[in-house]
Amino acid sequence: MGFTKAQLEEFRDTTVDDLVGPSVRLLFVGINPGLWTAAVQTHFARPGNRFYPALVAAGILERPVGYVDGMTPDDRAYLLDRGIGITNLAHRATARADELTPEELRAGRLQLEQLVARIRPTVVAMAGITAYRAAFGRNRATPGRQPETLSGSILWVVPNPSGLNAHDTAASLAAAYREPAIAAGIIRSGE
């Protein structure tokens, strides 16, 4: 499946439903849906996004899942069965995350806190240090485990898997994602 730029623009401001269930132990939080993600209604779906390959490389997923053309119900169930959930800080689709306002990011924090309080994951992994700093007012925050919790859940900041974040590779993302997955009990440290 492919889209023209004009076709993708039709999905601007569209939302993508959270992928959450009653047994989420590790909740990944993207910044906001991209236009491709909105078009196929699958988080981190744009070709070239390294999120799912990094999950496989980290051992968080034991097999690849389809995502570029939209995730199948079986693949969604597989993620949920593994204890993985996915949401976004801001819910409106844009071509780039820098199109979001600081107010949207701060409002997204409040919505995220409510979601986390409701589903109670062990670990929340926020993908993107810049968005985290803006949303949480933590201008000096560094990637990794944060000193505070989020609605009682361990809070981690991990690199954004977007292709625009060129200095991270699938291997470096896998290493960063592995730590919160161990803390969430998705994988063991020796695996």
Q: How far apart are the first and last CA of the chain?
A: 35
pTM flag (> 0.85): yes
Q: Which of 17, 9, 16 is closest to 99 using CA atoms?
A: 9
Q: Give the tens place of pLDDT for each residue, 47-102.
A: 888 999 999 999 999 999 999 899 999 999 999 999 999 999 999 999 998 899 99
Q: Is the CATH code 3.40.50.1110 the one for domain 5-183?
A: no
Q: How many CA atoms lie within 13 A of 115 on its CB side?
A: 25
Residue 29 and residue 126 in contact, taking contact as beta carbons nearer than 8 Å: yes
CA-to-CA distance for 42 and 18, rounded, in angstroms? 9
